[in-house]
Amino acid sequence: LFFRLAASSPTPGAAFRHDRYTYTSMLHLLGEAGRVPAMLHLLAEMLRAGVDPDAATFTTVMHWLARAGDVDAAMRVWEEMRSRRGKCRPTLVSYTACVKILFDAGRAAEGRRVFEEMVAEGLRPSCTTYTVLIEHLADAGKFQATLQIMSDMQDAGVEPDKPLCNILVKKCASAGETSVMTFILQHMKEKGIVLRRPVFLEALEALKASGESPNLLWEVNPHLASEGMEYDPTFSHLSCITDRSTIIYLLASRNWSAIEQMVNELTTRNVKFESHILSDIIQASCANCRPSCGLTVLYYSLRVGSELDRSAYSCLLGQYIRNDSFDLVSKIVERLIKHGCNLGAYLLSVLILRLGSAGHSSYAAHIFGLSPADQNVITYTALMNAYFQAGEVDKALELFSQMITNEISASAGTYEVLIYGLQKAGRKQDSDRYRRERMEMQWHRQYRDKHSPEDSLCDHLFCGFHG
């Protein structure tokens, strides 16, 4: 929206003219969001506007086409870039991206030809380029060949960096290739490179499975011992730490389907996670319109006894309210309260208000009845409003009488809902009576030093509120 807005100023000469940089940024955002048709449409628009794409533009489009599974389309973009050598010369990044796309697609011969073309063009492979080659060889089980590539890159003055070492150790651990892993670990020890915690755990498991000593692994990663993580032959907490790292990785990559599958598996194992991680997953999944993932996490948290932040509950319930899934909202709240989760009067009143606004007074009444401890002037008033919204005036008045019988005093917000609801229903006489009661209540209240927090919140919610 901002991209369009910037270029559409009504003032003559004030509109922003998009260039290859802003177009490329927008293409990247669309590709990252999975909106490939929109990305291609914008590329065509860019060309019609006379803005020449550069190598970064083509590389961006090529990358996201391949990520979407259309490798042939990605290669057509590559050929288009190569055909524009006068205007747009492929860079080292472009060649590296193309080689990776072809290797990942199982088209190794084509990938090697592109790599050879890159060298023939006089471009010197970077550590990222070598990483692509090494990862491909490791995936093919050619671990000795990876050592030769590492030797070649060092001869060329390019040192293996931390990402490359972590990738190769992870591949070795997965394949049980401990001899090559030992060589990499020795290099890491000499260069002061450490492993990421999840990779360290996989390497430790591989060494344990092969019966080899983990001493070198610990020498390479002394920081883990300083964090209180000591070597234990049984390493009983390994699975839990690995699961936690995997969940955090999947959350960072927004892989909601994988998170759902993993949480379902954790539920059967009764593994307990920190509440803040679960709350983050629920809020992020709702923000990305994937509430089913959040619901899976919620049910898991109830099963293992983890109470989440109220903001997580609010996000999930709000998402389903916006989707008109009111029956599910009612069931979620019921399940939360039965498991002892304290939603609080404010959140319950907001839920009742939203359900009432949607015309679902029965669901609102059900939620109100689930938590007697939170039945105060706020929730009573919210349910009265729901009844008025549904045209159930007598139920609203009965509820008001019940509230007074239970010695809960009405606030100004309560009278506001009563007066407006009765006026709307054409019951002027009743409306005038409650207006007089409100004036009398306000006259007495002015002599009180302070009001209860419930009264203040109720007034804040409902004074001036008209449905």
Rounded average pLDDT over 340-351: 78
The DSSP letter of residue 282 is H
In 10 A of CB 134, how many CB atoms? 25
- Asked if the structure places residue 197 within a domain, the reply is no
- Asked if the structure places residue 340 within a domain, the reply is yes
- Asked if the structure places residue 195 within a domain, the reply is no
| Same domain assignment for residues 258 and 117 | no
> Which stretch of 56-60, 234-238, 241-245 has the lowest confidence by average pLDDT?
234-238
| Same domain assignment for residues 256 and 117 | no
Average per-residue pLDDT in the chain?
85
Can you give the pLDDT at residue 323? 80
Residue type, 89: R
In 10 A of CB 33, how many CB atoms? 12
Would you say 58 and 78 are in contact if contact means Cβ atoms under 8 Å apart? Answer: yes
Residue type, 310: R
3-state SS, residue 192 = coil
Q: pTM value? A: 0.48
Tokens representing residue 197 in the block: 């915690």
Rounded average pLDDT over 422-443: 86
Residue with tokens 């729901």: 386
Can you give the pLDDT at residue 161? 92
Picking from 375, 370, 364, 374, the residue whose alpha carbon sits closest to that of residue 406 is 375
Q: Quote the longest CA-to-CA distance of the chain.
A: 95
pLDDT, one tens digit per residue, over 65-94 is 999 999 999 999 999 998 887 778 899 999
Can you give the pLDDT at residue 12? 59
Would you say 20 and 53 are in contact if contact means Cβ atoms under 8 Å apart? Answer: yes
| Same domain assignment for residues 275 and 407 | yes
Picking from 359, 397, 403, the residue whose alpha carbon sits closest to that of residue 379 is 403
pLDDT of 231 higher than 60: no
Residue finishing a domain among 73, 106, 123: 123
| C-alpha 460, offset from chain centre | 33
Question: How many angstroms separate the CA atoms of 100 and 59, rounded?
Answer: 12
> Which stretch of 56-70, 222-236, 410-424 has the lowest confidence by average pLDDT?
222-236
Residue type, 386: A
Would you say 56 and 24 are in contact if contact means Cβ atoms under 8 Å apart? Answer: yes
Can you give the pLDDT at residue 118? 93
CATH of the domain at 419: 1.25.40.10
- Asked if the structure places residue 105 within a domain, the reply is yes
Q: Is the dihedral of CA 201, 207, 211, 214 positive or negative?
A: negative
pLDDT, one tens digit per residue, over 261-313 is 888 888 877 777 778 888 889 999 988 888 889 889 988 888 887 778 778 88
pLDDT: which is higher, 323 or 141: 141
Q: What percent of the chain has pLDDT over 90?
A: 35
> Which stretch of 36-45, 92-101, 128-137, 213-222 has the lowest confidence by average pLDDT?
213-222
pLDDT band at 241 (very low <50, low <70, confident <90, very high): low
- Asked if the structure places residue 330 within a domain, the reply is yes
Angle at which helices 71-83 and 55-67 cross, to 10°:
170
pLDDT, one tens digit per residue, over 124-176 is 999 999 999 999 999 999 999 999 999 999 998 999 999 999 999 999 999 99
Residue finishing a domain among 123, 142, 175: 123
Q: Over the Cα atoms of the chain, what is R_g?
A: 32
C-alpha distance from residue 89 to each of 57, 123, 311, 408 (Å):
12, 12, 50, 77
| Same domain assignment for residues 270 and 409 | yes
| C-alpha 100, offset from chain centre | 27
pLDDT band at 320 (very low <50, low <70, confident <90, very high): confident
- Asked if the structure places residue 383 within a domain, the reply is yes
Would you say 105 and 132 are in contact if contact means Cβ atoms under 8 Å apart? Answer: no
| Containing structural domain, residue 284 | 244-463
Residue with tokens 């006026």: 423
- Asked if the structure places residue 20 within a domain, the reply is yes
C-alpha distance from residue 432 to each of 38, 381, 422, 427 (Å):
58, 18, 9, 9
HSE, side-chain direction, 13 A CA sphere, residue 106:
1
Residues in the chain: 467
Rounded average pLDDT over 347-357: 83
* Distance separating the N- and C-terminal Cα atoms of the chain: 32
Residue finishing a domain among 108, 123, 138: 123
Would you say 246 and 262 are in contact if contact means Cβ atoms under 8 Å apart? Answer: yes
Can you give the pLDDT at residue 61? 95
Would you say 46 and 9 are in contact if contact means Cβ atoms under 8 Å apart? Answer: no
Would you say 22 and 3 are in contact if contact means Cβ atoms under 8 Å apart? Answer: yes
Can you give the pLDDT at residue 325? 84
- Asked if the structure places residue 309 within a domain, the reply is yes
What's the total number of domains in the chain? 2
Can you give the pLDDT at residue 126? 92
